[in-house]
């Protein structure tokens, strides 16, 4: 969800579908999986479709955390939702990488504290643990 150019998708086996809102970014996408141009908060997938949903380095670019509800809807029971977000302490590094064109320009970020993210995924029906530390914080969430 928010796959960008699909860099992470070839790392996984099985059916892989990247969802991205930007057609411009999808034109730069890797060739491996299928891609769908759609809003990740209202994806076209049926309920309980996937065993794994990835949302890597995306939530800081979204105005809300509604993507959590959508991930819960499309995940099968017992499925895993992996969510990552950059730590605000590394904002300057991200800006430099964007200026050097080593990172796609993402615009202003909505920085969220771990507490807010864990609260939202818990409220959304997941059991979730913070799985790493900065600069990129991973949350591993299981749909109950």
pLDDT tens for each residue of 46-80: 999 999 999 988 888 788 899 999 999 999 999 99
Using pLDDT thresholds of 50, 70 and 90, give the confidence band for residue 106: low
Residues 128, 93: Cα–Cα separation, whole Å? 28
CATH number of 9-143: 3.40.50.150
Strands of the chain, DSSP E: 17-20, 34-37, 50-55, 75-86, 126-130, 136-143
pLDDT reported for residue 19:
95
116 and 85 in contact (C-beta within 8 Å)? no
Please choose, from the candidates 95, 37, 96, the residue with its C-alpha nearest in 3D space to the C-alpha of residue 29.
37
């Amino acid at each position: 969800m928010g796959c960008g150019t699909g860099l992470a998708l070839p790392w996984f086996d099985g059916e892989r579908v990247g969802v991205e809102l930007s057609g411009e970014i999808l034109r730069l996408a890797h060739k491996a999986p299928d891609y769908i141009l759609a809003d990740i908060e209202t994806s076209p997938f049926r309920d309980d479709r996937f065993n794994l949903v990835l949302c890597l380095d995306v939530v800081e670019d979204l105005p809300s955390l509604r993507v959590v509800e959508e991930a819960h809807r499309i995940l099968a029971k017992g499925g895993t939702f992996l969510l990552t977000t950059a730590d605000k302490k590394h904002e300057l590094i991200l800006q430099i990488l964007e200026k050097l064109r080593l990172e796609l320009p993402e615009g202003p970020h909505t920085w969220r504290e771990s507490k807010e993210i864990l609260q939202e995924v818990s409220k959304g029906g997941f059991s979730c643990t913070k799985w790493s530390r900065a600069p990129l914080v991973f949350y591993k969430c299981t749909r109950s």
